Amino acid sequence: MSALGAPRSVLPTWLMLAAVLVLTSCARQPPAAIPAVPQPQVLSGWPAAYDAYIRSEVRKYPGLLALAPERLADFCPGFAAIGDKAQFYADLLWAIAGPESDWHRAEITLETELDGVVDPIDPVTGQQVRSEGLLQLSYQDIDSYDAAGVCRFDWAADKPTAMAEYARGAAYGDGTRTIHDAYRNLECGLFIVNAHLLQLYPTARFEDALSPYWIVMDPAHPGYAEVRRNLARRQPACR
C-alpha cells in the first residue's frame, strides 16, 4: 500500500502462474543465512550507499540498461540521453519508495484488499498480507516470482518478531527482520522491476509494466505524480 492509503496492486493469479513459468531461470534456492549488515542503513532516509548498491545490482540485468527509450516516452522523455542508466534505476527505486514507504525501511502496511480478494492471506506466512519495507514488498513475493535466491526474506527467522509486530498492529517494525533490511528489499524490488519490464510485460509502456505491482506507477493514481516529481529531482531528463 502506498503512503497515500490506496491498496497496492499485485499480480492476478494467472500472472503469478505465468511468472513461475517465465522465471524458471531463477532456480529456487534455500534462504541465505542472515549475514551481518554489509553496508550502512538507517531506519528512515536514503543513504548514498543505497544508490551504490542498486547501481551494482542493476548490472546483473543488462536488459534494463538497454531498454527501448520508446517505452519511456511518457514516463521519462529524455531516457535515451541519460548516460548513466544504472543511476536511473537507483533514482527510480528512490522515487517509488517515496509514496510507498516515505523512505522508512521498516514500514508495515496491512493489506485489506488485493486483486479483488478481501483480507488476502500470504501463503508464505499464513497471515494476512503485509506490504513491508522501503518498496513495500511481501513475503509471498518469494513464491509468486519463484525468487528465493533474490527475494531473500527468511520468514522462519523473522516470524517471532513479525508475529509480535503484527499482533500489536505496528505501523513500523524494529528494523531487525530480513524483509526490512534495506539491501534485501532493494535487491528483490529490482528483480521484480526486471521481471515486469523484460519478461511479464516486454512490450508495454514502462509505467504499465510496473503498475500491476506498484499502484503508484499507475498514471491514474495520485501517487504517480509524486513518483514523477521525485524522479525529476534527480533526473532532469525525466521532466
Q: pLDDT grade, residue 39 (50/70/90)?
A: confident
CB 3 within 8 A of CB 200: no
pLDDT at position 38 is 55
pLDDT, mean over the chain = 89
* 63 closest CA partner among 10, 12, 25, 14: 25
CB 81 within 8 A of CB 237: yes
Domain ranges of the chain: 13-27+46-238
pLDDT at position 18 is 46
Statement: residue 234 has pLDDT above 90: yes
The SS3 of residue 219 is coil
- % the chain with pLDDT above 90: 83
* 53 closest CA partner among 105, 14, 130, 16: 105
The pLDDT tens digits for 171-213 are 999 999 999 999 999 999 999 999 999 999 999 999 999 999 9
What count of other Cβ atoms lies within 10 Å of the Cβ of residue 175?
Answer: 17
Mean pLDDT of 46-52: 96
Q: pLDDT grade, residue 105 (50/70/90)?
A: very high
pLDDT at position 167 is 98
Predicted TM-score (pTM) of the model is 0.86
Statement: residue 136 has pLDDT above 50: yes
Crossing angle for the helix pair 85-101 and 182-194, to the nearest 10 degrees: 110
Distance in angstroms (rounded) separating the CA atoms of residues 28 and 25: 9
pLDDT at position 160 is 98
Statement: residue 149 has pLDDT above 50: yes
Distance in angstroms (rounded) separating the CA atoms of residues 207 and 163: 34
Mean pLDDT of 58-77: 97
pLDDT at position 46 is 98
pLDDT at position 170 is 98
C-alpha cell at 30: 534455500
Distance in angstroms (rounded) separating the CA atoms of residues 129 and 187: 20
Backbone dihedral region for residue 130 (phi beyond 0: left; psi -120 to 50: alpha; all else: beta): beta
Distance in angstroms (rounded) separating the CA atoms of residues 40 and 175: 13
What distance lies between CA 156 and its chain's CA centroid? 21
Least confident of 27-36, 92-101, 218-227: 27-36
Mean pLDDT of 61-75: 98
C-alpha cell at 91: 533514482
Statement: residue 20 has pLDDT above 50: no
Statement: residue 157 has pLDDT above 80: yes
